[in-house]
Structure 1
Amino acid sequence: MGATLMATTSILLCSGLAALISSTYSVKKPLNDTVYGAHGEFMVALKYVTLLTMFLFSFFCHSLSIRFINQVNILINTPQDPMSLVTPEYINEILEKGFILNTVGNRLFYTGLPILLWIFGPVLVFLCFLTMVPVLYNLDIVFTSGKGKMMEVKENSDFIV
């Protein structure tokens, strides 16, 4: 469900950005040239195209993740046959591919926020990265109480590595 929601959000943002890029209004230049950062015609186009590319790749990764996880849902119910190519290891490999693609898609989607702020200047991008790095770090690392051992947890999964 999460991958479907993120894929839908990514493609909706791509549609909005494509409409914004193709428009003739002055919305493309949100700030004047007195703010830090380049706001020339080429740089504004580069910023929007970069943002559009990030969301398109995020959509692509989430769509593939949905495909792999759906395939696992079908293959997990097949009876085990010694001559079959469908083994538990193969199903585990497909499931891991789905989770990795979901994680990559989420990272690309999260990277869209600093790219979006890049439109307004470099200071907001720097502040956004300063806050995003600790947040993303805390999403990936879980400290357990008790013995104080550190365990890494894959994002959006219940498997502890």
Structure 2
Amino acid sequence: MEWKSCYLDIVLVPLSLAMSLAYHCWLWHKVRTQPLSTIIGTNASGRRFWVAAMMKDNEKKNILAVQTLRNSIMGSTLMATTCILLSAGLAAVISSTYSVKRPINDSVFGAHGELMVALKYVTILCIFLFSFFCHSLSIRFINQVNILINSPQDPASVVTPEYISELLEKGFVLNTVGNRLFYTALPLLLWIFGPLLAFLCSFTMIPLLYNLDFVLGFNKQGKIEHQINTCGDCESQ
């Protein structure tokens, strides 16, 4: 009977995680091959120009650079704090003598065994801990950029705009990974009340993330720019 009640958990939860993983693999492929078609690639390109502009006119823009990086650090700090607080709460629930099975005995679908309930809580705890780890590393890299971006410009120095851009990009990539892990934990939180809710949450989240991750007018803009460049070349000839 317990095995039959686990059918939905075994099928729907891995399927929801596989959908999320497949979407992010496709997103990573797009970022590598067509970066300007994604928000992540466009922002990465803009940050490189921003670092070069800040270091070129450092005497006038040093305060602006520090304040901008400080805002990024505050965002990562907020997410890291949220993740570690949720992890501490889940750890307290798991180690508590109170049966975590009681609040979900009335779940409509899915297994209610102690092993399955423990698996749910431990999985969510691990994801929140990994998210905290990524946000902590993001803060570390952005702090380094915050110091180095105001360093004196010396032709013999290894602290170049390219080096600082690379550090800043690592920080923002880790911040993005931490956010995506946090988003992945949301369907798993709903898994506590049944695998069907976890599947529906993942199925709904993918279109929302698509609208946030991609520049929807990229293809049209690319065609227009190509036509303009082609006409300009014809006129010059």
Whole-angstrom CA distance in 2 between matches of 1:14 and 1:127 = 24
Whole-angstrom CA distance in 2 between matches of 1:41 and 1:23 = 14
Whole-angstrom CA distance in 2 between matches of 1:139 and 1:3 = 19
Asked if 1:83 corresponds to 2:156, the answer is yes
1:94-117 Cα shifts (integer Å, max 9, x gaps) = 000001000000000111111111
Whole-angstrom CA distance in 1 between matches of 2:119 and 2:111 = 11
Pair 1:92–1:140, CA change in 2 (3 A)? same
Higher Rg of the two aligned structures: 2
Matches within 5 A, 1:1-161: 1-32=74-105, 35-144=108-217, 148-149=220-221
| Greater RCO, 1 or 2 (C-alpha within 8 Å, sep 6+) | 2
Whole-angstrom CA distance in 2 between matches of 1:9 and 1:97 = 21
Whole-angstrom CA distance in 2 between matches of 1:124 and 1:29 = 19
Matched position secondary structure for 1:85: coil
Q: Note if contact 1:61-1:105 (Cα within 8 Å) is conserved in structure 2.
A: yes
Q: Note if contact 1:29-1:39 (Cα within 8 Å) is conserved in structure 2.
A: no
1:59-95 Cα shifts (integer Å, max 9, x gaps) = 0000111111111011001112222221111100000
Stretches of 4+ moved more than 3 A in 1? none
Whole-angstrom CA distance in 2 between matches of 1:13 and 1:117 = 15
The CA deviation at 1:28 is: 3.8
The CA deviation at 1:129 is: 0.7
Query: What is the identity, as a one-letter code, of the residue corresponding to 2:92?
Result: A
The CA deviation at 1:122 is: 1.0
Identity of aligned residues (%): 77
Considering fraction of residues, name the structure with more helix: 2
State the TM-score, normalized to the length of structure 1.
0.85
Range with bigger deviation, 26-35 or 135-144: 26-35
State the TM-score, normalized to the length of structure 2.
0.59
Count, aligned residues: 149
The CA deviation at 1:33 is: 6.8
Q: Note if contact 1:143-1:149 (Cα within 8 Å) is conserved in structure 2.
A: no
Q: Which runs of 5+ in 2 are unaligned?
A: 1-73, 223-237
Whole-angstrom CA distance in 2 between matches of 1:102 and 1:135 = 19
Q: Indicate the RMSD between aligned Cα atoms, in angstroms.
A: 1.8
